[in-house]
Amino acid sequence: SEISFRRSVFCISLIVPILFYYSLKQRFEKGNDLLLILLASTILLSPYFRTSSYWGLEENYGIICLLSSYLFLNLFLKSIKTKTPKTFFYLLFLIFFSSLCAYFDQKLIIVPIICFFKIMRSPIETKIKIFSLCLYFFLSLPYLYLIKIWGGIFPIKLTEYRNLGNNLYFGHIVYATSIIGFYLFPFLFF
């Protein structure tokens, strides 16, 4: 049902502050844990994040994949320096999560591009770089097909719906009011 779908998206969205905490912990290893938890929980104040969580939108999946890509990119780069056997697995997860970013939110297409160039500039063997190139190409085939169908990187319907602003629909007012309420909630709360 629609309610159970929205609840599941809401529960999955609660992973974002946890991943954000681990990203901060990885970046600031000697940082105060309480301060990092407080900083990671600031994402819960974002009206965009809360709205996406409540209404069951897919943007938070993109944020999850973005933070996972960041974590695995750092693990991959650290494992190259220490030459651990987990390097290949970190690379696989990095390519997978960075490729998923573009599927969940087209604005995040920059993430796989950055990760790809980081992999290509890293001091790893040439055959692993070629494998990474092939895997990125293989994972981008569905998106390349969508670009061909859409005639660009965004869906055709998305640009058609933007012209609906000329008409006033009363159902949209209720929807917009609820979104404005979510955006104003932190200010009213504090």
pLDDT in 10s for each residue of the chain, 190 residues = 889 999 999 999 999 999 999 999 998 988 889 999 988 988 888 878 888 888 888 889 999 999 999 999 999 999 988 878 888 999 999 999 999 998 888 888 899 999 999 999 999 889 989 999 999 999 999 988 988 888 777 776 665 555 555 565 666 677 777 777 777 776 676 6
Q: How many residues does the chain have?
A: 190
DSSP state of 69: H
Helix (H, G, I), strand (E, B) or coil at 158: helix
pLDDT (0 to 100) of residue 148? 87
User: For 91, how many CA atoms within 13 A lie in the half-sphere containing its CB?
Assistant: 25
Rounded-to-integer distance, Cα 50 and Cα 56, Å: 10
Q: Quick one: 188 exposed, middle or buried, by C-beta within 10 A (0-12, 13-18, 19+)? A: exposed
Write phi, then psi, for 86 (nearest 5 degrees): -80, 0
Q: At what angle do helices 47-55 and 2-13 cross, to 10 degrees?
A: 140
User: For 94, how many CA atoms within 13 A lie in the half-sphere containing its CB?
Assistant: 24
pLDDT (0 to 100) of residue 171? 62
Rounded-to-integer distance, Cα 133 and Cα 119, Å: 9
Contact 97, 72 (CB under 8 A): yes
Q: What angle do CA 85, 88, 91 make, to 5 degrees?
A: 135
Q: Quick one: 91 exposed, middle or buried, by C-beta within 10 A (0-12, 13-18, 19+)? A: buried
| Entry pTM | 0.78
